[in-house]
Structure 1
Amino acid sequence: MTNDDSPSNLNEDTKTIEKTMQPVLTIQAQHISTPNESLMIMREGCNTKKKLIYLPSSLINDLLQVYHSDPLSGHFGVQRTYLKIKNKYWWPNMKQSITQYIQSCLPCQQYNISRSKKPGRLQPIPPPEGPFQLIGMDYCGPFKQTPRGNQYVLCLTDYFTRWVVAAAVPDCSAQTTAEALFNEYICKYGVPAVILSDQGTHFHNQLMEAMSKLVGYNHIYSTTYHPQSNGMIERFNATFVPQIAKLQDKENNNWDEFLLPVVFAYNTGTHSTTNYSPFQLLFGREPRLPTDGQIYSFTFRKPNDYYEQLKKSMKLIHGYARGNIIRKQHQYKTQYDKRRPDPHYAINDRVLIRRHGIKNKLEPKFSITPQIIIRAQHPVYVVRDEITQIETQVHINDIRPIYVSKLN
């Protein structure tokens, strides 16, 4: 016998079990001691008849506490709980009562992972009218440090042409971010109207705020833990990492030497959304590649003719590209929204929010304490913790309503 199995501990465990089972024992005792058959109900099926205890409404919660929340019941779902109860007890709308009770079980709401689609419809970002009006910015990494000291890649993607700029950098500090943005993008392509990024400290800081005011662009931030808000650059990151991994010399760890060739290959390939290459949408022509043969030249009567022809071509392909973007967004939204719930919450609604970065698998997946909706701009909400009063901005994807039992 171990210390944990001492008589005192066993007695405590026995008392706990007896206390938990008391409601059931009370119900069964009432049934045995009461000769009145009105407490019984007869169920027929499979050529058999069975007497069931008719449970009064005042005892339903006590019984469900034992059959669902007790350690020996395991917090299982509606069907398993119902099958355990139905052969012993009966009351009107029994399945509905069990469903409501389990839906309102707070531990189940905090720990259970829904197998249905996450709530919230897709909100596509309207395509800009032209290049460099809206760009997305994000970091990829860390990777293994190269001999040049690089560990991260700062990626910037134009939302109209899909033109990508990528810079290998040693870290993702605010100073490094500002320098790379200025040197690799602004000095080469001009100042974008809007930059979209996540709320990481490398983007959301005093230095970047000062730079946006000084240079003259609007910096907006996506919702925390909602990469779909900046989905285009997330998809590029998922594309270029495998390509670099295939090309790098693992012994010399020179992935940063292949970064620009991979970006060039991406920019000169036809994009599935626009049906044009980013290079063509930016420069009005296709690039000459090492595999190309004879160079074709065009003769214009006046030097200005080339400019006029280029302007017409750019206007034409930009119009086609924008139409293709809108069409693809509509197709993707239709597919994404199919059979997807889209609940709306009001001010003062009590909810739970998803907890990200949980490494311990036994930790609850949703907030331990309820959150109160204090600002609503669907699909983004601001919630306040009931205990700590901390305010958090959260997307509808990460919100779960709190169900409260309607049982007496």
Structure 2
Amino acid sequence: MDELSQAQLDDPVLKRIRDAKQGVECIGPDDSELKPFAPVWDQLEIRGSQLVRVAPANSDAAQVIQVVLPRALVPGVLKQLHNAPTGGHLGVQKLQGKIKDRFYWPDWFKDVRAWVRECADCGSVKMHGGTPRAPLEQSLTSRPFERIAVDILGPLPETGLKNKYIMVVGDYFSKWTEAFPLPNQEARTIARVLTEEWVCRFGVPQSLHSDQGRNFESKLFRELCELLQIHKTRTTPYHPQSDGLVERFNRTLLTMLTFFVEDNQLNWDALLPYVILAYRSSVHASTSVTPYKVLFGREIVLPVDVMLGLDQGELFASVDDYVTGLQKTLTTVVEAVKRHQSRAAAQQKRAYDFRATCQFYSEGELVWVRNKLRRRGVCPKLQRRYKGPFRVLERLTDVLYRLISVEGGPEKVIHFNLLKPCTSLSAVAAPLTVGSREQARQSLRQHDATWEDTNRIHQRAAETSRSGDARDPAPLHGDAARGGAAAGGPEGRLPGEVDGRGAAEQRVVHQSDATWEDINRSAQRFPETKGSGDSSNPAPLHGEAARGGAVGRGSGGRIPGTVEEPRAVEQRVVRQRRPPAWYKDYQVEF
């Protein structure tokens, strides 16, 4: 007897089917153990020493002989047909096709979908659906030089003056931009040029934004900002879009230089003042005026104006008259810039959010993080696209999340666009501990500071936690809120831990030693959100439903009101789009 036949004999359900087919045992019509095989009962046969299903032929396929697979062999078969090199980690349809030609067991197609969905290797490589795209976050300024952005462009070909880099500084309000050639990008050089060429000319800005370059995160640059009382912010890892002012200007600057550099490309630093003049004297799309006029209240006099003898502006009888006229002009220009920027920002947000696919993550969820790290000697096309999984510790803003790896390590602040839900059950969650609020604030400031003020972030969280709205039940606290280990639940999961059903649909396992009456009372605490949307409490479970008895199967083969484990209440949760971890933000089906 072969191994498969012996496995069928060792399976108690398949052994009963074999005995029934051979006339050894009589099966009643109400036998619950064999009920899953009822739809294909007439197709089951004993051929040789194996129990098989003879799938009838139809217009799409010929007759197929399927071996009835014991439950004990299902994981091994799925692993061989999907995870092995001969399986290739292909998708659901291809795996279902392989199974359909060879094997049969009840609800096999559901097991195939779950196996592919919960495959950790597929989660770290494949990109399902469209790219995550959070709604656009904007920060408008109200006066010139209130907030500036700094970036380093290069390296470029070394010129005769030994310059290899360009330091770009831009003002968020007026769009006035400076470009300084640098021989290197060391923190000392950047700090000196920024102080001498910008601060000494335009004054100290209130806020300075940069990327996460080591020169901008150095101790010297940090001390310079503290000395001048400049609020320093930075982009999140691998998300330069939040530094879009100078990033977009870099592309424009390189395009302009391309037209005028010599063939050896060694004179680009000599061309910088001229191309910057062209940019400052051009109308900006967001302000509808030139950067020069925003600062000086008049248009710049270009060489062509002098050549053709064009009117170079109004003449004033005295300095006082000029100052008075300039004040009126600048007031008008600044108000016009504010209106145009607000209108342009709204238009940009509508265009950007049109393709937004934001689905927020709650505290304790597992996510994958897009792997944009490029290593020497490793082909990017063959490396895994995601790393992790990571656990969500805190939602800082609408688009920023504080994460930590399930294997431990430093905390990170990552943008939503670099995340995707982790649906792998094999992701082992390590116990987590969250320090004090001061430690969290210090960690964010030193390692993962973002464009949003950390004090404002934690103040918002404190106000939320102190809110006394009677409609909001108490938030999750302690290990349950953090997804940490409190006690082992069924199937080795932790209380409050996501079991891998994705961002939109999850099962949350709550540890409970309560009786069925206590479970019945706890069910009443969940608001009835499905159906009419009434906030009244649902009716408690009674009778067989409250005791876990079978009262008929619901959608997806579930039995309403049943609990499979005596120490756990399993509830199917559909999370809404607004994600804070409060009970009222979930729809619960019983």
Taking structure 1 as the reference length, the TM-score comes to 0.85
Give SS of 2:303's match. Answer: coil
Q: What's 2:576 paired with?
A: none
- Corresponding residue SS for 1:99: helix
Aligned partner of 2:269: which letter? D
Is residue 352 from structure 1 mapped to residue 368 from structure 2 by the alignment?
yes
The 5 Å alignment of 1:5-404 reads 34=18, 36=21, 37-38=43-44, 40=53, 42-46=55-59, 50-51=63-64, 52-53=66-67, 59-90=73-104, 94-114=108-128, 116-125=130-139, 127-251=140-264, 253-292=266-305, 293-296=308-311, 297-300=313-316, 303-359=319-375, 360-361=378-379, 362-367=382-387, 369-378=388-397, 379-404=399-424
Tell me the secondary structure at the aligned position of residue 321 of structure 2.
helix
Amino acid at match of 1:304: D
CA distance, structure 1, for counterparts of residue 5 and residue 371 of structure 2: 36
Of 81-90 and 68-77, the range deviating more from structure 2: 81-90
Q: CA deviation at 1:304?
A: 2.7
- Offset at residue 92 of structure 1 (A): 5.7
- Using the TM superposition, give the Cα deviation of residue 95 of structure 1 relative to its aligned residue in structure 2, in angstroms: 4.5
Partner deviation per Cα, 1:348-373 (whole Å, 9 max, x = no partner):
32222222222423332222x43222
Report if the CA contact (8 A) 2:287-2:341 is conserved: yes
CA contact (8 A) 1:23 1:63 kept: no
Looking at CA atoms only, which structure, 1 or 2, has the larger radius of gyration?
2
Unaligned 5+ segments in structure 2 are 22-42, 45-51, 426-499, 502-563, 565-590
Percentage identity across paired residues of the two chains:
26
Q: State which drifts further: 197-206 or 291-300.
A: 291-300
Greater RCO (CA < 8 Å, at least 6 residues apart): 1
Partners of 1:224 and 1:157 in 2: how far apart? 21
Q: CA deviation at 1:104?
A: 1.4
CA displacement at 1:89 relative to structure 2: 4.0
Deviating more after overlay: 389-398 vs 229-238: 389-398
Distance in 2 of aligned mates of 1:23 and 1:277: 80
Q: Which residue of 1 aligns with 2:504?
A: none
Q: Is the 8 A contact 1:268 1:279 kept in 2?
A: yes
1:73-104: CA deviation from partner (whole Å, max 9, x where unpaired): 10112232223333444556554433332121
Q: Is the 8 A contact 1:161 1:282 kept in 2?
A: yes
Q: Are residues 206 and 109 of structure 1, via their aligned partners in 2, closer, same or farther at CA, if it must alter by over 3 Å? A: same
Aligned-partner SS, 1:196: strand
What amino acid does structure 2 have at the position aligned with 1:384? I
Q: Is the 8 Å Cα contact of residues 146 and 256 (structure 1) preserved in structure 2?
A: yes
Residue 153 of structure 1: how far off its partner (Å): 0.6
Please, what TM-score do these two structures have when normalized by structure 2? 0.60
Contact 2:207–2:231 (Cα < 8 Å) also in 1? yes
Cα distance in 2 for residues equivalent to 1:96 and 1:317 = 64
Structure richer in helix, relative to its length: 1
Task: Please state how far the C-alpha of 1:190 moved relative to its aligned partner.
Answer: 0.9
Whole-angstrom distance in 2 between the partners of 1:114 and 1:63: 24
For the residues of structure 2 that align with 1:68 and 1:347, how far apart are their CA atoms?
32
In the TM superposition, what whole-angstrom CA distance separates every residue of 1:50-84 from its partner, at most 9, and x where no partner exists? 34455566654333222211211101122322233
Shift of 1:403: 0.4
Relative to structure 1, the CA distance from residue 29 to residue 212 in structure 2 (aligned partners, 3 Å threshold; closer, same or farther) is: same
Equivalent pairs, count? 385
The answer to whether the 8 Å contact 1:165/1:184 transfers is: no
- Between the aligned partners of 1:332 and 1:265, the Cα distance in structure 2 is 25
Q: Structure 2: how far apart are the matches of 1:330 and 1:87?
A: 55
Structure 2 vs 1, CA of residues 94 and 307 (structure 1 numbering), >3 Å: closer, same or farther?
A: farther
CA RMSD of aligned residues (A): 3.0
Q: 1:28, 1:306 → 2: CA distance?
A: 102
- Distance in 1, matches of 2:252 and 2:7, equals 64
1:289 shift after superposition: 0.8
1:305 alignment partner AA: D
Residues 132 and 420, structure 2, Cα contact 8 Å, conserved in 1: no
* Structure 1 spans left out of the alignment, 5+ residues: 1-21
Please give the alpha-carbon distance, in whole angstroms, between the structure 2 residues aligned to 1:384 and 1:139: 30
Cα pair distance change 1:206/1:47, threshold 3 Å: closer
**CA deviation profile, 1:18-56 (whole Å, cap 9, x unmatched):** xxxx8899679999x958444626355317663445556
